Structure 1
Amino acid sequence: MTATLPRPVLLDCDPGTDDALALWLALAAPEIDLRLVTVAGGNVGLARTLPNALALVGLAGGRVPVVAGADRPLLGRFRDEAAVHGADGLGGVVLPPGPAATPGLAMDAIRAALRAAAPDSVTLVGLGPATNFALALAAEPALRDRVAEIVLMTGALGEGNWSAAAEFNAAMDPEALAILLACGRPVTLATLDLTAQAFVTPARIEALRAAPGGACLRAAADILASVPPSRRFGFRGVALHDPCAVAWLLAPALFTARAVAVAVVLDGPDRGRTRIDRWGRDQGAALNGRFLETLDAEGFFALLAARLGALP
C-alpha cells in the first residue's frame, strides 16, 4: 500500500482563542504539509493577531513562514471581538514571544505559494475573515487552478453570532467571502450550526488538562478556560469554532456533509448572512459548497487532545 502524501495547506487566521487551538492542531498533523500561515486583523486587530500567530507557531516548534496580511476588509473596517477573546486575543494567557514574521504581504505570499504548487493540489483553510485569500485570487484568478479545496469556518444556516443574521467572519468581509464562493473551486463550510456541536464545557476542559502533553496542551486548556460562557448556550459552555475546519482535513469520518448552493448577502440589515440551500429549493443554483452537518463531538475532542498532546 502506498502511503498518502501530506496535503499541502495554506492557513489564514486571526488569533483569537479558537484560532490558537486550530493552528496548533494543523501544526501537529502529519497529514498536513503546512506551507504558509497568513494573518488578518479580524478578532482583535493585526497588531495583536500577528504576534499571537508567531507565538503559537513558536511554542509548537513550527518552522512555517508567518506573514502579515489585511488590517481591514475590502470595504470598511474590522470590528473586534475582545469581549470573547480578551484584549490580547488569547484570553490573557501569556505565551513566549515567537519568531519574527516573514517579510512581505499575505496576498503576495499566498500567490507565490500557489504558483509553486502543482495544479489542483493546495487546500486553503480560512479561520477568519476571507480577505487575504480573496485579495490573492482576485489579483491573480488563474491561480485558482492550483486550489483543490477551500475550507472555511464561516457562516450559519440561521441565527448569527455577530448580528441576528450573520456569523462574525462572514460579517467582517462578506465581499471577500463572495469572491471565494464564486471562484469555481470546492468550498467546504464549517458553520455555527456545526461548531455548536463542538461544545466546550468545564468537564471537557478538565479532561484536556488531564491528558498527557506539554506546554501547548496546557496553554490550550488555559485559553479555553478564559472564554466566557455563552448566553446562546445558557452559560453552560462555548462552541469551539475554528478547530472544526482543521479537523475536517484530518478526520472526515467524524463529520457528515451535504452538497449545497451557498451565497452571501452583501447589503441591507442581513449583510453577511449566508444563504445555504440544503434542499435544492433554488432551482438552477449551482452546488458551489459543501455544508458540514454533523460532528462526532467525542471523537473530535479525543482527536484534539491526542494531537495537541503530541506538541512540545
Structure 2
Amino acid sequence: MKEKRCNVILDVDTGSDDAVAIMLALKSTELNVKAVCNVWGNLTVDKTTRNTLGVCQALGAKIPVYQGCQRPMVKDRSSSRDLQNTYQPVIVDGKELKIHYDRLDGLPEVMGGPEPVHAVRFYYEYLKNVVEPVTIVAVGPLTNLGFLLRTAPELSKKIHQLIIMGGGVDISNCSAAGEANIWHDPEAFQIILNTGIIPLLVPLDATHAAMLDEKDCEELEKIDTFEARFTASLIRQRIVYESALLGPDRRRSAIHDALAVSACIDESVLKDIREVSCTVGLSGASDGEIMIDRRAVTDPVNLRVALSADKKRFFQIICERLA
C-alpha cells in the first residue's frame, strides 16, 4: 500500500535558509505542500513573497503562494519596544554582505504574483473547510498564525501538527535573550501557546548543532541538480557573511528553517526533545525570550522543544531530497 503523504502548509519569510526549506519540502515525496504563506521578517513581506515565487517557479512547482502580514500584531505600537533590523552592516572590499538579499541570486525572473487573497484569510477558509487536519511548518515570525488563532481559536483543532523554527534556550541572536522569529512578534507565539496546540519548537540550540560547512557545499555541488547547486550557493553566501561578522574561524552556518522541514519528514533528526511549559517575554530585556517553567511542579505542558539535532541525518535528508 502506498504510504499516505502529509498535507503541509509552509509559513515563511523567504531569505536564504527559507529557500532551502521550501525546496526541501517541495522535493520530499512524504510531504504534500498545499500552499506557501509569506510573512514579514527577514525582509519586507513583498520581498519575501517574491523570493518564494521565484523558488517555486525555479522548481516548476504550481503551488499557491499567499502574501500575509507586513508588521507584528502589536509590538510596533509601543515606542519602547525596539523593532529595528539587528543585522549589522558587513563591508568587505567595498561590498556590503548580507545573509538575506532582497532578491536571491540564482532564481529566475518572477512571472506573475501571489494569490489575490491575504494569507490569514486563506488559512481561515482552508482550515474551516478542510476535513483532514494539516501540518503547518512556520519558519518566520508567527504573525499570520497569531492573527488567525486570535480571531478563530477553534481552528486550532484542524492543525494536526505545528512545527516552529524559533527561540533559543541557551542561544539567542536578535537580542540578549531573544531569537529573531519569536522576538519579532512574541505576542503571536504566546497566542499559539494558549490555544491547546502543543507545537514542536526547533530552536537555535538544535539548528546550531547541525551547522553545514564548505565540505558539505562541495558534496551538494557533486549532486549537480539545480536544487543542490542553489542550496550550496546559499550556504556559501551565509558562511561568507557569518565569517566576516564573527571571525574567520566561523566557516559554517546553521540552515535553521531547513531543519524544521527535515523534522516534518523525519522527527528523529531532532535530539533531546523535551515536553515543557513555556511562556514568552513581552517587555523589557526579556522581550521575545522563551521562558521555560523550571519549577518542580510546572504549569501544564504546552510545548515540545528540541535541544539538539543529528547533523549527519540532517545533511543526509537534504542530499537525498535534492538529488
Q: Normalising by the residue count of structure 1, what TM-score does the alignment of the two structures yield?
A: 0.91
Question: What SS class does the counterpart of residue 34 from structure 2 fall into?
Answer: strand
SS in 1 for 2:274: strand
Runs of 4+ in 1 over 3 A off after TM superposition: 76-84, 92-96
Deviation at 1:50, TM superposition (A): 0.8
d(CA) in 2 for partners of 1:93, 1:232: 27
User: How far apart are 1:148 and its partner, in Å?
Assistant: 1.2
Q: Which residue of 2 aligns with 1:4?
A: 3
- Residue pair 1:26, 1:246 contacting (<8 A) in 2 also: yes
Matched with 1:273 is 289
Q: Encode CA deviations 1:223-251: one digit per residue, 9 max, x unaligned.
A: 11111125289422211100111101111
Please, which moves more after superposition, 225-234 or 284-293?
Answer: 225-234
2:119 counterpart of 1:103: no
SS in 1 for 2:262: helix
Q: Which moved more, 1:49-58 or 1:250-259?
A: 250-259
Name which of 193, 201, 206 aligns with 2:205: 193
* Match among 286, 289, 302 for residue 316 of structure 2: 302
1:217 matched to which residue of 2?
Answer: 228
Matched to 2:124, the amino acid is R
In the alignment, structure 1 residue 114 sits paired with structure 2 residue 127: yes
Aligned runs of 1:78-227 on 2, under 5 Å? Answer: 79-80=84-85, 84-88=98-102, 90=104, 92-118=105-131, 121-213=133-225, 215-227=226-238
Structure 2: distance between partners of 1:16 and 1:295: 22
Residue matched to 1:235: 250
RMSD: 2.0
**Equivalent residue, structure 2, for 1:18:** 17
Aligned to 1:252: 267
1:138-191 deviations in Å (ceiling 9; x for gaps): 111111111111110000002311111100001100001111111111200000
Range with bigger deviation, 239-248 or 97-106: 97-106
- Structure 2 unaligned spans of 5+: 77-82, 90-97
Q: Distance between the aligned counterparts of 1:233 and 1:265, measured in 2?
A: 34
**One-letter amino acid of the structure 1 residue matched with residue 250 of structure 2:** F
Give the letter aligned to residue 127 of structure 2.
Answer: L
Say which is worse superposed, 123-132 or 292-301, in terms of deviation. Answer: 292-301
Q: TM-score, normalised by structure 2?
A: 0.88
> Are residues 131 and 207 of structure 1, via their aligned partners in 2, closer, same or farther at CA, if it must alter by over 3 Å?
same
Determine the structure 1 residue equivalent to 2:45. 46
2:298 corresponds to 1:287? no
Q: Which amino acid aligns with 2:235?
A: L
Provide the aligned length of Structure 1 versus Structure 2: 303
Q: Could you list the per-position Cα deviations for residues 182-201 of structure 1 after superposition, in whole angstroms to 9, with x for gaps in the alignment?
A: 11112000000000012121
